Amino acid sequence: MNIYWADLHIHTVLSPCGDLEMSPGNIVEKAAAMGLDIIAVTDHNHTGHARLTRELGARKGIWVVYGAEINTREEVHCLTFFDTDEQLNAFQLEMERNFVKIPNDSSLFGCQVIVDEQEHIVEEVSHSLYPGLNWVIEEAAGVVHDLGGLFVPAHVDRPMNGLYSQLGFFPDDLEADAVEISRHTSREAAEKEHPELKQYMLIQNSDAHFMDDIGRAGNRYMMKSRKFSESRMALKGEQGRSVLEI
């Protein structure tokens, strides 16, 4: 088994709240400088920077997992992860079918741009990426799983947009592959408050919106290699794979 350091929740400039410095290029540079082995860029309701980040990461020896941080109808934020381009494209289409299309006012909410390697803007997403998609949380998990992805409720302990703030308690029939707690709490504190979390692998990530946040939290993944199938086993604690605290 090998140990890989991973930060799986990073926002790029495509997220309205992501800092302008957060281009795929800068993120990969910073992740390499921090010694990260695996990252995921998880923009709100969009996967527009996934591919470029993966390409740039590969050049630096970083494995970039495809993903997005989606917002459900109940306004619960959830991390979603995918392996292949086909899955990523299919998921982007599914999201686009379920957007509530409200125009984004970038002066109020921040700009939502997709950039290229040279940091030229190639697209500006015109509708706001903030509102919840038209999926209840269990439906969202179903869509992700049907495509072969992983579904992880994000920062469940946060007072806004966390599973507990929005839904009061963990729904019985929600199929989560793991659960993310914010970097402002600890495994012990989270499990003490919500004992049902003991049945899940708990992960912590930076939820970086600014360059200095990247790698501020993360986990060590114990796996054979950096493959999606391995990370799935690690998140589920199967066959000797596991997720360790830093």
Task: Collect all residues with Cβ–Cβ distance below 8 Å to 223 and sequence separation of at least 6.
Answer: 1, 2, 4, 230, 231, 233, 234, 241
**Smallest distance from the beta carbon of 138 to another protein, in angstroms?**
9
- Closest to another protein by CB, 50 vs 133, is 133
**Smallest distance from the beta carbon of 9 to another protein, in angstroms?**
22
- Closest to another protein by CB, 116 vs 196, is 196
Q: Which of 160, 155, 215, 209 is nearest to 185 (CA)?
A: 155
Q: Which amino acid is at 37?
A: D
Which residues of this protein are in contact with another protein, per CB under 8 A?
73-74, 136-137, 164-169, 171
**Smallest distance from the beta carbon of 196 to another protein, in angstroms?**
13
Task: Collect all residues with Cβ–Cβ distance below 8 Å to 20 and sequence separation of at least 6.
Answer: 13, 111
The two structure tokens encoding residue 151: 């579904």
- Closest to another protein by CB, 31 vs 137, is 137
Helix, strand, coil shares, percent, the chain, to 5? 30, 25, 45
- Closest to another protein by CB, 194 vs 226, is 194
**Smallest distance from the beta carbon of 174 to another protein, in angstroms?**
10
